[in-house]
Structures are given as C-alpha cells and as structure tokens.
Structure 1
Amino acid sequence: MTETMQDIRLLVLDIDGTISGKINQVSPQVLEAIQAAQRKGIKVAIATGRMFCSAKRFYEAIASDVPLIAYNGAWIQDPLQTLPHQQLSVPADIALDILDFLSTKNWRSQLHLHVYHNDELYVDDFNERTAAYQERTGCKANLLTDLRDIVAQAPTKILAVCHTETVPKTLLPLVQKRYTQQQIYCTQSTAVYVEFTSPTATKGQAVKFLTEEILGLQAANVMAIGDNFNDREMLEYAGLGVAMGDAPTALKAVADAVTTSVEEDGVAEAIAKFLL
C-alpha cells in the first residue's frame, strides 16, 4: 500500500465477484460498509463489464452520485443524464473480423456470442445460457439471424461466452497473436467470459477519466476493488488497488492489498480496514 486512508476520496467497485456474488445483489454487510464510507464524504462509483442497463440497479442500490462505468470502460454515463460522457465502439472492420474468427466451426462449438450496441444485447442463438444471462442481468436479448448486420454498425462490445473454463486459455493467446493492442482490447472477466472492446476502453482509462476529468481528483485519491483480469488496469491506476480473495493470482500480484472473497463480504472488510 502506497497511500494512507486519508488520501482516499473515491472508492471504485466492480460488480460481479466483488459486490455481487451468488445472490446477484449487494449483501447487507457490504451495503452498510459502503454507506459508512459515503458518510465520511467518500464518493462511491461502479466500474463493471456489465451493460449500462444491467448495472443501474446496483448503482441505485449503493446510492452512487457519480457517473457509472459500464462495458469495461467503453460507456461512462450519469443515469440521470440522457447522454453519456463517453461511448467507445469496436471499429466495424475489426468487429466483423472478430465475428468471422469466432464463427468458425471450431469456435462455435465451444462458445456462443453476445453483441452489444446502443445498450441492447443481440444474439443469433437463444439457448439456456442466454436465458440465464437474461435472468441475471435483467436485460432482454434480441434474436438476429445474422449478427453481421449489427456488428457492421461498430458495436460497444463483443462477448464470447465460453462453454467451459478451458476455452479462454486457448482463445486468449490466439486473439493476442491475431490483433494488436491498438486494434482491440481483449480481456477475461469471468472464468468463461472473454470480452472485446475498443482498444481505449479499459476500466483503468475510464476510472482515470472519471477521477481526473470529471471529479478533479488524482490517482492517489482512489481506492479500487476488483476480482478478475478486466479489473487489472483499474487496480494499477488506483492509489490503493485491492483484489478479492478469490481473484486470479496474476491480479493479486498487481494489487496493493488482498481482501476476502465476495461470499465472505470482502468489500466490507476492505472498507473497514482502509477507509473507516
């Protein structure tokens, strides 16, 4: 840890695996800790890979009063405003190439695709995983016969929902060979989710924008908590980056501190330790 708790004026929280676990909502213990931090004058923000529409209920649950970061940083918007502060897209040519690459027979037997555009979800196959996703996120999937039509419009995000936890281990290295970091940002957000966004859309860049451009603060004023690879840039940027207890070893390695797991209310523990 490089900063003292007196420096922290903004707490940034991931949703899934951080403030939301199996029950798909913020636990009373975590909510109480967040409210205690807010009473001390610390602003609390959400930075998630989720859709904007899916993240809003968590934003409301914690009574955040700063813009919400969705789609791993591609979308930054105050829910009370009609226009986003930032809305980044995957370039159409790259998006179409990703779609073609992931639509080959080999990959389509191992994953299915979600495409996000204008905060709407599009799929070309409605299956049990899609139904479960709808139920968990509260956002309806639009069924298309051909995803190329929407992908050609430069989508906000493409998500590969892998059928097993071994698929990302094979897919990610191939993606890194096929595309440069200037073409696409590709990350893993859960054991089976591989996400594609604009190369400038990361939680780290979004938290930097929120901190410095919107709130007029500095990295030293930020504490961020996350649980997976898509949180890495955010934890690296923050003056105090905290990894959840069940985060991958590589994420814990870049964090300043490690708390307990989401099911053990690790966020509440971290807030109590560093902010209260």
Structure 2
Amino acid sequence: MQQSDIQLLVLDIDGTIAGKSNDIREPVIRTIHRVQKQGIQVAIATGRMYRSALRFHEAVGSTLPLIAYQGAWIQDPKTQTLHKHWAVPKTMALALLDYFETPELRSLLSVHFYIDDQLYVREITPETKAYFERSGIPAIAVGDLRSTLATEPTKVLALSDDTDLIGSMLGSLQKQYTPAELYLTKSVATFFEATHPAANKGLAVKYLAEEVLGLKPENVMTMGDNFNDLEMIQYAGIGVAMGNAPEEVQQQAQWVAPTVEQDGAAAAIAELLL
C-alpha cells in the first residue's frame, strides 16, 4: 500500500478526534488541514446525530457528505441533499422497546429514539442529561416512546452505566436478531445501539468512496476507536484503531495510533499520510 494511494480520510468523532474536552484539539485540526492541502479529502463518520456532528464536520473543513447515526443518515451539509436514510422498521423498534421495558431492565436503562434528527426519550434520566450536555441536543420527553412511532426511528439507543449489562444485552439481542434484521453495536461501553441492517459505517464509507467519489478501498484510510468502527476499519486500504480502542478493535486494524488524549489521530495522519 503506497501512502500516495490514499485520497480519502474518514474520521470517527468521539474517542478518535474528540476526547474528554468534547472538542478537536489544535494539533489534530492542524494535521487534518495539512493533509487536505495535499489533496486528500476528509469526511466524518459518527454514531452521533447529524445536528450534533455538524460542528465537527465544519471544524475539519470537510466538503463531503457527513455520515451520521452509524451510517444510517448521509447528508451533504452544503447542498442539504440527503443521500441515504435507513430507518429501523417499526416492528423492530417496538420489539426492542418491549425488551428494554421488561421488569428486570426497565429501571436500569435510558432509552433514546432518534426521529427526524430529534431525540425522544421516556423521561430525563441522569444518563440522558449527561448525553444531551455532551451532544448539545435537547431531549424531548414523551413518556411512552410508542407514541413517537408514526415515523420510524433512524436509530434506537439504550444507555446504562452498567457496562456488563450493555455487553450482555448486546450478546442476547445478537442471538435474537440476524444481521439481516438489525445492525447491533456498541459505540462506547455504556451505549447499546440498533440501526437498519444496511446502516453501518463500513457500508457508508463504501458508498461515499465508490459511489460519490469513484474511489476503491485502497484509496481510503479510516480511523476509529470502537466496535461501531470495525466495518469501516476492515473496508479501508488503511484502517487505523486508536490506542484507547478495545483490544478486539485494535486487532482488526493495520495500524494502532496513540490514544485520543495523546492526539493519536494527528500522530497517525503524520505517520501514514504526510
């Protein structure tokens, strides 16, 4: 793989280019802008809401469509063109809600439905409050989330500070639903996420690279820090995992960067592209 082959760099946000500060630090921004001056295009691929990801898209100076909601929503902020939108089928959203509201789980989980780039919740829990403070998006409390399902959700998320619970739920639901029915993942240890089966970052990056830009996988470098980044790390000619990524994610990458708090994205770009 020649470094000169890379024409597209795709970056995750949380845990990759933004750490505890919830902002992109100056060395990372500087390095991204240097690589753009070499003619390499830069795109964002995140599990975040489209609205929540926009400021990062603008900060890196991307001119490409923005990949949000794990790839379920691909929109060009410049033209407002919505390239792709895959929603969770209503039957699946209802089945997940039934599962989350079983007596043993209900009090342990905060459940989020994302519909038309708005965030709907049962009630405002401490976890939800922390989430919307970080994302900058207010939550709309509706009591029964079934009342929102006149429109199918782009993504369903369940939060719990109990990381073992999130892990066991993921394992349990992966046995119940095939990858052809739902895409299930963890974006951080406390977030269980479900999207349409056609929505993951790997398929979204493939669409952006091949359909929009006419590139091949070997022209793409991707960088991420968690299980929801696995597909795009595996797709790319150069897949980079952060030093703060789980071991299983690091094992799938061609290169492991320092951690997000060590400006690992800047180190990876400098080493592999500059």
Q: Same fold (TM over 0.5)?
A: yes
Post-superposition offset of 1:151 = 3.4
Q: Alpha-carbon deviation of 1:4?
A: 1.8
Shift >6 Å, 4+ stretches: none
Root-mean-square deviation over aligned CA pairs: 0.9
1:55 is aligned to: 53
How many angstroms does 1:180 deviate by? 1.2
3-state SS of 2:67 partner: strand
Whole-angstrom distance in 1 between the partners of 2:219 and 2:127: 40
- In the alignment, structure 2 segments of 5+ residues that lack a partner are none
Query: Structure 2-normalised TM-score?
Result: 0.98
Q: Aligned pair 1:262/2:256, yes or no? A: no
CA distance in 2, matches of 1:213, 1:77: 14
1:132 Cα shift? Answer: 1.6
Q: CA deviation at 1:269?
A: 0.2
Checking the alignment, whether the CA contact within 8 Å between 2:63 and 2:78 is kept in structure 1 is: no
| Paired amino acid for 2:44 | I
State the identity as a percent. 50
Q: Deviations over 1:106-136 (max 9, x none)?
A: 1122211010011000001112222221111
Q: What CA deviation, in whole Å up to 9, does each residue of 1:117-174 have, x standing for no partner?
A: 1100000111222222111111111110210122352210000111211112211111
Question: Which residue does the alignment assign to 1:103?
Answer: 101
| Correspondence for 1:83 | 81
TM-superposition CA deviations, 1:221-259 (whole Å, max 9, x none): 000000000000000000000000011111111111101
Measured in 1, the distance between the counterparts of 2:121 and 2:224 equals 28
Check the 8 A contact 1:243/1:251 in 2, yes or no.
yes
1:32 to 6, 18, 30: 30
| Distance in 2 between residues matched to 1:82 and 1:10, nearest whole Å | 21
Are the counterparts in 1 of residues 127 and 160 from structure 2 also a CA contact under 8 Å? no
Total equivalences in the alignment: 274
Match of 1:240 in 2: 238
Q: Distance in 1 between matches of 2:171 and 2:126?
A: 28
On the 8 A contact 2:57/2:66 being kept in 1, the answer is: yes
For residues 273 and 202 of structure 2, the distance between their equivalents in structure 1, rounded to whole angstroms, comes to: 21
Match of 1:219 in 2: 217
Q: TM-score, normalising length from structure 1?
A: 0.97
Amino acid corresponding to residue 14 of structure 1 in structure 2: D
Gaps of 5+ in 1: none
Aligned amino acid, residue 168 of structure 1: I
CA distance in 1, matches of 2:264, 2:104: 39
- Aligned letter for 1:257? W
